[in-house]
Amino acid sequence: MSSYWLDSDVLVWAKDNVAPLGYTEYAGFWTLIERNIANGAIKITKRNFKEITEGRKGDDELAKWLKLQLTKWPTVRVSPSKSVQEFAAKIGEYVYTESRFYARHRARFSSGADAWLIAQAAIDNGTVVTREESAPMSHEPKIPDLCKHFDVKIITLTDLMKTLGTTKK
């Protein structure tokens, strides 16, 4: 089974913009996510989990929902193995030695979850799911460009929904 590693922005954006939690009309989206957490297809790195549950203002609905998923499916939050740590270090080294990235962006990158997300997907032979767009000339490291550099599969939330959802009749 393929594994899909969610960037924090995917769930935050969905909750804030297209599928607010607690509304019957949007329950299908969250049911699809929950079903695929339960079957092990959707996973979240420990750092991305922390960004959502601790990095947002207060204990918002998404943080509560994600913590509930953890109580039902403890395998949704994945701690980095030694090989993931080594791969994340390799990504960090690339970001710090690539001259086009500005120092302030390197510093922000090093404290975030992106390297861990990409490394986890790489080691797991999984796929990164993000809303970020490629910007190869950017002075800030972008997930799609790092995935391309390190040969890690990447898709959008829409692609994920089409892959995991039921087929249209």
The predicted-structure confidence for 93-114, as pLDDT tens digits, reads as follows 999 999 899 888 888 888 889 9
Q: Is 31 helix (H, G, I), strand (E, B) or coil?
A: helix
Mean residue pLDDT across the chain: 92
Statement: the pTM of the whole predicted model exceeds 0.85: yes
Q: Where are the alpha helices (DSSP H) in the chain?
A: 8-13, 27-38, 46-54, 61-72, 82-97, 103-111, 114-124, 143-149, 157-164
pLDDT > 70 in the chain, percent: 95
Separation of first and last alpha carbons in the chain? 24
In this predicted structure, the answer to whether residue 168 has a pLDDT above a threshold of 60 is no
Phi, psi of 63 (to 5 degrees): -60, -45
Give the pLDDT score at 169.
52
CA–CA distance, 59 with 16 (Å, rounded to integer):
14
